[in-house]
Structure 1
């Protein structure tokens, strides 16, 4: 069950405020979904808005008509209480072969844009560095904002960049594409994992080949995540996670967060729910989360009913009608993400007694 430290502040889940094309639900499922999200809001594992704002810095996300699929009214309408803002360059974007120093420069610029976003919209967004920050933001009616992941390719033969990113507020690292994790962990890769654990950061295995993902999950003493994915058993897209990796996540107390990317999870809300059903069946109720991958300019393909964050209540209503219990839904939306963060912090406290920087 989600960790309720204090009586939570109700997060605005007025789904009626922002129209969403979605199926009608029976038996008050949509009302029950809104009530649940008011107490256990969504902790979304992936949003690319930082990249979009870097390219178009004059968007105002305080209003719904911004030309992007993410803004504060839609986040609130969907019951989003925590957001992981990815600092990766989206797939297919420029600079796939950028030199290491250029990747670092790009990442620092992304961090600057993200922190500027927190400052500009401080009444709604607040930088979060820990699980306590996540709960505190919810209780104050704000959206907890975690920075990351940053690309593992920014680390070469020194952990200094990792510690610098941590000092800037980054809490997630993505090893995919890094030379120290591509074909099995190198000696330096093992040091990276140990330092990530010591810093209470999370490893995001999105995009890692199955063998590498399993090795990373086993090497980390803290839970790992996959911030946006689908079930390869339902759709063998290269970005989707295999059952082998889902079982490794279950063994490592990690979680896979299901995306709303039509190429990976289908073109309807029902198809996304199918992927959530499968991930829960293999990884367990404590191993599934939500990582929609919103944040792009409007017009891209999205599942019907899930075209922006305001669609979350409709997805929860669908899962209620499929027989998900409210306790399992509380884990899906909030509890699993907070538990992974708390476990990482517990691991860090133990590691800091044994390992100096």
Structure 2
């Protein structure tokens, strides 16, 4: 099905912004209101492809929670995703930082990952009118055309690959499309020979490499080794905040050279406690890596006590963030790349790389 972006006469897939279910309705000054109207209109045509949401893990702890209904206990639900103009979501399958199971043995990591995949697929089945599993860039566009939120599964942890690529191919068969090498022995301090084979297989399968949490050295090695663009699904600019989860300028330049994507998070520890601080990180990534290499990776999905910046406490805040960027002088073409275009391009480039590698024998 043709991408909605290619059809200027197509109706918006779903309403966003003020007036939508779950949207903020506080009055705003005239200038800000004008920017908010422009942001809302832009999101109707170029919705957000959010690179990180941890809701699946949260729902495993509260299996009877209904995301069709807003709940202050969780920051993500379908009404607020709609209100924020989210058209695609990458659902993280990682164990959250700080959870005791993050240091579990490899076999437990595999078991937890399979449970996460099962919970993610169950989520799609439970809400078929709002969410649909996406396996490709075409699925991304098709879901948007049908008014559904395209749902990509991943990343899974690189620790699940214990010296064999079979697990990677099994995850791909189950619908996973992203892998995060951070913490894996084959990407710890240096990229090993097996690590290079993992990257080749990821490229062959059109799975994305997520550099989140990798050291600058390993991140640059991975970006250089991959024939397809790599992503950082949730991060900030280390030059603005030297948090270990933020990417250095060196990594941003490597992403620019590789056609990759740095997706800025809404985590107060990494990007500050206000919407304006998040916009500062977006400004820096755009200035250094270029408008084609900046995206959004909110890290929403946790329970309500997880701190997010004022104005961006849940997905309904996306129109306000875009309004802030418009007031900072971002052209609408760059905002369209930020929200949707860059994520779609990275997925299509990964698929092109995979087709080019089809003549290679499976390891």
Q: What TM-score do the two structures reach when normalised by structure 1?
A: 0.97
Is the partner of 1:231 in helix, strand or coil? coil
Question: Which residue number in structure 2 is paired with residue 105 of structure 1?
Answer: 111
Deviation at 1:354, TM superposition (A): 2.5
Q: Is 1:232 matched with 2:238? A: yes
Task: Select 2:16's aligned residue among 13, 29, 38.
Answer: 13
Q: Is 1:187 matched with 2:188? A: no
Task: Select 1:24's aligned residue among 11, 19, 28.
Answer: 28
Q: CA RMSD in A?
A: 1.5
Contact 1:226 1:255 in 2 (8 A): yes
Residues of 2 paired with 1:76 and 1:204: CA distance?
26
Q: 1:3 to 1:284 in 2, by over 3 A?
A: farther
Is the partner of 2:15 in helix, strand or coil? coil
Residues of 1 paired with 2:347 and 2:98: CA distance?
30
Higher mean alpha-carbon deviation, 20-29 vs 307-316, is at 20-29
Question: Whose relative contact order is higher, 1 or 2, with alpha carbons under 8 Å and at least 6 apart?
Answer: 1
Deviation at 1:218, TM superposition (A): 0.1
Q: Is 1:347 matched with 2:347? A: no
Q: 1:5 to 1:353 in 2, by over 3 A?
A: farther
Q: 1:8 to 1:337 in 2, by over 3 A?
A: farther
Residues of 2 paired with 1:49 and 1:95: CA distance?
17
Q: Deviations over 1:226-276 (max 9, x none)?
A: 000000000000100000000000000001000000000000000000000
Residues of 2 paired with 1:308 and 1:19: CA distance?
10
Give structure 2 stretches of 5+ with no counterpart: none
How many matched pairs? 356
Q: How does 1:62-101 map to 2 (within 5 A)?
A: 62-65=68-71, 67-101=73-107
Is the partner of 2:125 in helix, strand or coil? helix
Residues of 1 paired with 2:160 and 2:27: CA distance?
44
Task: Select 1:258's aligned residue among 264, 281, 284.
Answer: 264
Question: Which residue number in structure 2 is paired with residue 4 of structure 1?
Answer: 5
Task: Select 1:301's aligned residue among 304, 307, 319.
Answer: 307
Is the partner of 1:15 in helix, strand or coil? coil
Deviation at 1:5, TM superposition (A): 4.3
Q: How does 1:106-125 map to 2 (within 5 A)?
A: 106-125=112-131
Deviation at 1:222, TM superposition (A): 0.1
Deviation at 1:97, TM superposition (A): 2.3
Residues of 2 paired with 1:161 and 1:21: CA distance?
47
Deviation at 1:67, TM superposition (A): 1.9
Q: 1:170 to 1:154 in 2, by over 3 A?
A: same
Deviation at 1:14, TM superposition (A): 3.6
Q: How does 1:111-150 map to 2 (within 5 A)?
A: 111-150=117-156
Contact 2:130 2:147 in 1 (8 A): yes
Deviation at 1:144, TM superposition (A): 0.1
Contact 1:289 1:333 in 2 (8 A): yes
Contact 2:4 2:145 in 1 (8 A): no
Is the partner of 1:13 in helix, strand or coil? coil
Is the partner of 2:88 in helix, strand or coil? strand
Is the partner of 1:180 in helix, strand or coil? helix
Deviation at 1:66, TM superposition (A): 5.7
Q: 1:8 to 1:230 in 2, by over 3 A?
A: farther
Contact 1:148 1:173 in 2 (8 A): yes
Deviation at 1:183, TM superposition (A): 1.6
Give structure 1 stretches of 5+ with no counterpart: none
Residues of 2 paired with 1:269 and 1:257: CA distance?
15
Question: Which residue number in structure 2 is paired with residue 203 of structure 1?
Answer: 209
Deviation at 1:55, TM superposition (A): 0.7
Question: Which residue number in structure 2 is paired with residue 37 of structure 1?
Answer: 43
Q: What TM-score do the two structures reach when normalised by structure 2?
A: 0.95
Q: Is 1:241 matched with 2:241? A: no
Is the partner of 1:96 in helix, strand or coil? helix
Q: Deviations over 1:176-218 (max 9, x none)?
A: 0000011211111110000000000000000000000000000
Contact 1:85 1:147 in 2 (8 A): yes
